[in-house]
Chains A and B, each alone.
Chain A
Amino acid sequence: MRYQKFDMRKFAFILLFTFTFGQRLDDIDLAMQQLESIVQTASRSSQRVFVEDFTGLQ
């Protein structure tokens, strides 16, 4: 049975690759959250004002 020698360089590359893209996904997620917040705020309804006047004249 042949055993492959553990290749530290491959391991380091995979680790770096995973870490890099993991961070990149985080960036994208963060940007999407900011965009969502901006769109929601921009489209939020504005309050109109309602006055109830309890009145009378005599």
Chain B
Amino acid sequence: MLDDYPETLMNIEWHNPSFTPGNSDFDIPEYSSRASMYGVGGIPHTQWNGVQETVGGYANGNWQAFIGTFTSLYNSMVGEETPYEISINGYAGSEVSYDVTISMDADMSNSNQKVDIFVVEDNIWSYWTGASQYHNARNVARDWLTTQDLTISTAGESETFSGTFDMDEDWNADSIKIIAIVQNYVSKQVYQVTAVNINDMNPDIDDDGILNGEDNCIDIFNPGQEDYDNDLIGDACDPCDNLVYILGNLNGDTDENGIPVIDIMDVLSLVDFLIFDDSYECQDPILNINGDEFVNVVDVIALVQSILNGDN
């Protein structure tokens, strides 16, 4: 099935430490924590998108009898709408640096949403003494790199998780993949998954000469890395670069010359925020007009006075 659906089906083999090929290094410490997450008892146990499972039924890797069950599970899940897309890029050497970017095209709460990043090795042809047979192990778990909280929750937002790991000398570098998933740690639902061979990663997506991990706009060509407000987000991709969203210009409007306009509409935006508690990313740093600890009606008064006085 993995070869039949290479773009839409990804797997990871977690090998029970008690049942691995002779002299293999297939078992890793993370097996137990991942298994306990799903309450894995007997094996084989498959967990589909974190929420559907099969237990037992195919000894010694002869899972062909389960092809009907597996195909049915796959078909029930593939192509469902999800707010997430994942891209994995980076650079592969003796040390691998990776950038996993999660982007959203619909809103979803980030409560208990986490990003897991794994390293697997594909196509390990190994002899299993207990079963007296050779077996092609697919996407064997080599490392569970990290689990991070996903902070984004709104369509159009993206978040990048970067890191490095060392290649083990026993791993076949041509078969190493990084797998990234978005999973809810309460429901266990996996909302998206992407896998990429480390040799297929792009070290410089926008081809501006700055490697992804150091680029302040990963996917926009900006070799100069200009960053007016020093917020580590380059001007080329920073919607809140403090050129337009200056203090008081809450609705972000400008005149024909691109100069921010602060007027009664900004007062209404501030009132909207106070009533509905609904602001967007660029507004947050510019709501507090009088610079005290709170955003309240005093800021409205300060903004009105500022406009009437022609301060702007």
Contacts and interface: CB of A to CB of B under 8 A. Distances in A.
B47 A45 contact: no
B252 interface: no
B105 A44 contact: yes
A55 B14 contact: yes
Contact of B106 (A40, A47, A48, A55): A40
B130 A47 contact: no
B78 A58 contact: no
Nearest to A43: B105
B135 to A, nearest CB: 6
A50 to B, nearest CB: 4
Nearest to A58: B130
Interface residues on B, range: 35 or more
Interface residues of A, number: 18
Contact of A44 (B9, B81, B193): B81
A40 B135 CA distance: 45
Interface in A21-58: 40-41, 43-58
Given A44-B106, A45-B83, A49-B74, A54 B16 contact: yes
B192 interface: yes
Interface stretch (B18-26, B168-176, B243-251, B253-261): B18-26
Interface string B72-114: 0110011111111100000000000000000001100000000
Nearest to B179: A50
B152 interface: no
Nearest to A40: B106
A53 B181 CA distance: 15
Given A54-B16, A56-B16, A57-B135, A47 B11 contact: no
B4 to A, nearest CB: 12
B240 interface: no
A58 B96 CA distance: 33
A45 B74 contact: no
A47 B47 contact: no
Nearest to A52: B47
Contacts of B192: 45, 47-48
B131 interface: yes
B301 to A, nearest CB: 34
Contacts of A40: 105-106, 155
Given A55-B13, A55-B43, A56-B18, A50 B81 contact: no
B44 A53 contact: yes
Given A41-B81, A56-B18, 19 more contacts: A40-B106, A45-B105, A46-B79, A47-B79, A47-B80, A47-B82, A48-B8, A48-B193, A50-B10, A50-B49, A50-B190, A51-B47, A53-B12, A54-B31, A54-B45, A55-B44, A55-B61, A57-B135, A58-B19
Interface of A: 40-41, 43-58
Interface of B: 5, 7-16, 18-21, 31, 34-35, 38, 40, 43-50, 60-61, 70, 73-74, 77-85, 105-106, 128, 130-131, 133, 135, 155, 179, 181, 190-194
